[in-house]
């Protein structure tokens, strides 16, 4: 009975977060109205990553919009890491997805996780875009030069020059525990991501 009550409470919390995420996304869409480029419906997935669960995640070091370089290895032994690759700044789905993670910040913290956002855009573009969206709590990194080098390492650089929309969950030992190379036209499921993070802390 106690377990059932706990499950119901947990389920309601997730529903609440998802509701806020949807509302946040709608607000972001309204805020960006007339300012973002809509590429239309794209081919959902163009590449197939060579990486698999259980493999060591490729290390990288990229510049962030804060001016500092951020490396995957700096979180080794300290934090679980979620890498969120999105295709391009100033586009509708990307402009909805990342602000949604602001609302879920406490769930990342609860599961001892850091989120790293990566696109192939340059720093000035990312700086202007994120300022328009409002401050994000996680590092935003530029995979601009060499163009898409990190996306290529992860096997998700599309033939059109942008990355796939993808999530990689990496544990504190640097091992990949979850991969979602997602339909580029839609946002990944936040509830599924949080469930995968919770597995790492059990």
**Among 94, 166, 176, 179, which one carries the catalytic annotation?**
94
User: Rounded to 5 degrees, what are φ and ψ at 195?
Assistant: -60, -40
Whether 94 is catalytic = yes
Please check whether residue 94 is in contact with residue 88, taking contact to mean a CB–CB distance below 8 angstroms: yes
Q: By the 8 A CB rule, do 121 and 144 touch?
A: yes
Distance (Å, rounded) from C-alpha 201 to C-alpha 142?
Answer: 29
Distance CA 72, CA 70 (A): 7
Residue with token string 């060591």: 56
Q: Which long-range contacts (CB under 8 A, 24 or more apart) does 20-24 make?
A: 20/103, 21/100, 21/103, 21/104, 21/190, 24/99, 24/100, 24/102, 24/103
Supply 33's token pair: 């109205």
Contact 140, 69 (CB under 8 A): no
193-to-42, 64, 88, 174 alpha-carbon distances in Å: 24, 23, 21, 17
Residues identified as active-site: 94
């Amino acid at each position: 009975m106690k377990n059932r009550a706990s499950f119901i409470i947990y389920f309601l919390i997730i529903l609440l977060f998802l509701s806020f995420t949807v509302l946040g996304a709608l607000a972001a869409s309204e805020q960006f109205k007339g300012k973002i480029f809509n590429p239309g419906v794209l081919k959902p997935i163009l590449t197939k990553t060579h990486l698999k669960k259980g493999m060591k995640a490729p290390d990288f070091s990229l510049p962030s919009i804060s001016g500092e370089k951020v490396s995957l290895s700096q979180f080794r032994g300290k934090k679980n890491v979620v890498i969120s690759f999105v295709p391009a700044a100033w586009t509708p789905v990307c402009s909805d997805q990342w602000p949604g993670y602001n609302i879920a910040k406490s769930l990342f913290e609860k599961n001892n996780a850091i989120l790293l956002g990566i696109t192939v855009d340059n720093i000035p573009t990312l700086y202007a875009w994120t300022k328009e969206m409002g401050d994000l709590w996680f590092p935003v990194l530029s995979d601009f030069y060499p163009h898409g080098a990190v996306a290529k390492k992860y096997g998700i650089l599309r033939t059109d020059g942008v990355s796939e929309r993808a999530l990689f969950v990496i544990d504190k030992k640097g091992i990949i525990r979850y991969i979602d190379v997602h339909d580029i036209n839609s946002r990944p499921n936040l509830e599924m991501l949080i469930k995968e993070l919770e597995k790492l802390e059990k």
